[in-house]
Structure 1
Amino acid sequence: MLPVTPEVSVILPVRDGERWLREAVASVLTQTLAELELLVIDDGSADATPTILEQLRADDPRLIVLRQQREGLVAALNRGLAHAQAPLIARLDADDVALPERLARQRDYLQTHPEVVLLGGWAEIIDEHGAPRGRQMRPSPERLRDTLAKKSPFIHPTVMFRAETARQVGGYRAAFEAGEDYDFWLRLADIGEIAILPELLIRYREHGGSVTRTRELRQIYSARLAKLASAERRAGRPDPSAALTAPPDWHDPKPGAFERDSSRLFRMLELADPARARSAPASAIDLGAITSQLSTLTAGERKFAQAAALSLLRERSDLPAAMRVRLAGWLLRMGPLKAAKLMMRK
């Protein structure tokens, strides 16, 4: 029987996840910590996912299925958060596998470290067949706040956090599409300590469902906004992103003051797509958008800036000579060796 109050609630969102769903669910329900509930949020699956969940639920009442009509990941995560009964909440994705003692080890750590509100861990990488790929993701447990201010040190499906704190900060926010986890970590860190348990907790599956360039750019954009908002909060000022209810459109001709400079930058970064570089009107090629922020670009932004410069050089023979010289200069400033290799392929 399901305990009155489980020790841990596991939130597992899924959409069309029939291939690995049984393995993911089994890895939770066979944990050494038995006092748990598994909340699977089915985001409008059109494959065999609903049937699989019905079968699995009949065998174990700790599995609770929540359904929604393709409302997206943030809605699924917040639905799970709203229904979770335990004081501790863990995450897992439908293509990953939790190691048997994962939940017990994280629960024990949080019980002995009441100041910690967010706890991550390490992951072993596996392929689509479950075979180890010879690599592990081992984020350092040291200087986490310094790292968090620059990028996320957490592997999302390894985390466990306190339900009360998660609800206190308002859960996940839809405005930070593809970067909702990073924004969430930053807000949790505002009111508590963060840590990484230096142990393998999950098997993290890498497979053919690769992230598109558009989604990757959106993820980087959301991360930039999350960092800017966090810096304002740390300085004791109001959160400038609090009024955002949806992901900002960087093509909006009248962006808010908070996202204006970032939107200007990302209109240029999307020119990494050769098709966009070819079709962009000359008036949209705003070199100053990158030049003004060149020294502060993250590794991901720098990669897109390099690709954008190369796309423009390759696709736009109509550009003035002075502009072409500036674009070539960017490539050199952002990485001379890589620039030389890219230019040789031109």
Structure 2
Amino acid sequence: MKKIAGITLLTFLLFGEVREHVVKKGDTLWDIAGYYYNNPFAWVAIWKENMDKIKDPHWIYPGQVFVIPEIPPEEAAKIGIPFYPVTERVPAPEVTVLKPPLPAVAPDLILSAGFVDFVENVKPFAKLIDTEPKGIKNLYYYQKAYIDKGSLDGVKEGDLFLVYDIGPGIKSKRKGSLGNYFKILGKIKVLKVSEKISCVEILPSYDLIHVNNLIMPISLPEIPYDVRLVPSKRDIKAQIVYRTHSENEILKPFEIVIIDAGEEDGVKIGDLFEIYREKEIKGVKAPYIFLGTLQVLNVKKKSSTCYIRSVTREDIKVGDYVRLVGEISK
């Protein structure tokens, strides 16, 4: 498919030009939304338009043809898709541009990536108990629901929380049990509060949200700002112990993986690791195979959550090795 420049593509989408996407091997709704809207969180718009073809948004298949719907400007603004209205050109006054400080890694990426910890260390604050209106099976952005906490529990209008699900237990050959993967499904905002129950709105979601999902306060680790990557002299090696996507799916940049090195090993947010695979030929050790790079988003005691920055091969898998090659510095 011929790539169209961002503004032109958005003009087509916002003003009713019908577009279709033929699914290729390795595509996800997240990736498709990122391509057409420059915002992967808009994946729900594609899913809603093609629900007759998509039974489960986690599973789409090569050869399927999806309509890429137009998104009205007011809706585009809600989910962060830029809208560029045509206006008369006027001379721009000279201004002094103040550059805001840049984080080492994006806060939203950290939140959506999830983390690994032991269940006993992560106590849910609340539970999602119903939908508004009742009977909605899959919740996504700007739909409403109820949680089982209210003013008696300190909840106030405007409060923000994370919705999460507890995933599988993760083990390491070196360290044994690392805990469970806590999958972050999205953010919610409190709209109205009674003594024991609050009405909430789903903010842009990272995945589908359901009744009985758990709620926790938003907590971000300390993120360094205005830094650069430099070569590291620290010697840290580890293995990939978990992929958030199926092993059968092609691994792409920005996929989340877990490695079995954490705070106790000296890992820090922003650290850059290369991914490699050892190889032997007839019992003789051969040069290692370079597979790509990953960067650390969140660090726990025994493990770290990372995102894939680059890949040279599509078969990166659990068990591949990583070693520290870069770190952030002022």
TM-score range, shorter chain: under 0.3
TM-score for both structures, normalised by structure 2: 0.27
TM-score for both structures, normalised by structure 1: 0.26
| Greater fraction of residues in strand | 2
| Greater fraction of residues in helix | 1
